[in-house]
Amino acid sequence: MKGLFSRALSVLVVKIIFVIIGFLTTLTLAKLYSADQLGDYFWLLSCITLMCVVMRFGQENMLIKLIVQSAKRTEKQIISTQAMAIVLVTAIVVLLINLFVNLLTASTLGISNLILVNAMFFALISIIGYSMQAVGNSVIQQFLLNIPRLLSALLAIVLFWLFNELVSLDLIVTFTFFIGLLFGLLMFYLKGFRLTPSPVKLLTNKTQTYHYLWISFSAVLMAEAAIVLLGVYGNAKEVAYFGIATRLVSLIAFVLLAFNSVTTPKFAALFKQGKHSELISYYQSSRRQSMFISSFFAVFFWASGEFLLSQFGEQYQQASEVLLVLLLTQLIKVFVGAAGQLLMMADRVTLQKYCITAGVCTLLVSCYILIPLFGALGAAFATLIATAVNNFLALFYVNRYLAIPLSLANPR
């Protein structure tokens, strides 16, 4: 299990570097741009992330499984190429539908096309990232997934310093997502992958496609829907408060993501090999180690949260309660661990669909009720309730069907 900790720690170190740089850049953006402008920027990034999942068409989990189980490099390259081809086809279809709807409604194409084009770039980047993860290059995956957002903030700051003018964040986002795609393709080739001619077909069958697409989209809904709905039912300032608080506690979320990036391919391999006791031990070890690391970060944010928020501006101190609620939300995720990923890698996709569906329904209803009443704090509580439903239900299922203990202890 030492290998698990060291590999997860290397991914976490990369995440911490991005969090520190992200904190500093977001802090600078908060001083340059108004809360309304920053809120619109956060809302745009969340919408791009949601549409990115649609364009991946639920292929990423099967992509990981197939690459892990493939012995030949050419097979891995064909699988990655097919997944990217599916993204392109899906993106073209979605863009055409959007064009048709805009023509019927005589509305402008501006924001919707901006979201869709960047979602296509991000979907391709993420497919390359999942390919890297499947062959053990989780650190590279984290670089690829974080570069576009980080570059957009850095570029906005640099342009202001050079020309003393604020450039539209919308324009910067498109440029940086495109640069991120070019960098992803470069890493794809440097790591020995090649775009290999192959028929354009789904990696999943019809039933799997439905399940995986819904699960993937719902997982992102769990992460992004609150801020999107806050933009609909609330205002840009509330979005900015929620967005800042989310980015501060993201370090705890990254602990779980760091371990997940290492454990998910391992789950698939151990399940295929029939090593059930080793699978349980591996899962429990990842829970304990991630909880141990997260506890330190949780104490730090609990003690210094108000001070950190004040650095963005006096108005952001209003988000202190939001920060604490989101902090508890992340700790619930870390305690449960990668239960959802384990269910999917162990061919229990239907059970994971039940969990994520319950979570999404809870989130949407809670947001509808709580956001108009409490704004950003309501969105935070809605996220907390939905996360608890989703994660504890998943923990119940892995306990019932895979004998994973409810506690952090190893089974006797």
Domain-embedded: residue 412? no
Domain containing 130 equals 2-402
Quote the distance between the C-alpha of residue 351 and its chain's center. 21
Domain-embedded: residue 341? yes
Instruction: Judge whether 65 and 268 are in contact, CB under 8 Å.
Output: yes
Domain-embedded: residue 411? no
> Which contacts (CB < 8 Å, 24+ apart) does range 358-363 have?
358/389, 358/390, 358/393, 359/218, 359/222, 359/386, 359/387, 359/389, 359/390, 359/391, 359/393, 360/218, 360/221, 360/222, 360/225, 360/386, 360/390, 362/386, 362/389, 362/390, 363/221, 363/222, 363/225, 363/226
Per-residue pLDDT at 322: 93
Per-residue pLDDT at 7: 60
Domain-embedded: residue 27? yes
Per-residue pLDDT at 383: 95
Domain-embedded: residue 107? yes
Per-residue pLDDT at 2: 47
Q: What SS3 class is residue 347? A: coil
Diameter of the chain measured on Cα atoms: 66
pLDDT along the chain (412 residues), means of 10: 57 71 85 88 88 84 80 84 89 86 66 87 93 82 87 92 88 92 93 82 74 80 88 86 86 67 70 80 83 83 86 85 92 87 82 91 95 94 96 93 83 64
Domain-embedded: residue 81? yes
Domain-embedded: residue 408? no
Instruction: Judge whether 234 and 375 are in contact, CB under 8 Å.
Output: yes
Domain-embedded: residue 326? yes
**Number of domains the chain is built from:** 1
Instruction: Judge whether 398 and 339 are in contact, CB under 8 Å.
Output: yes
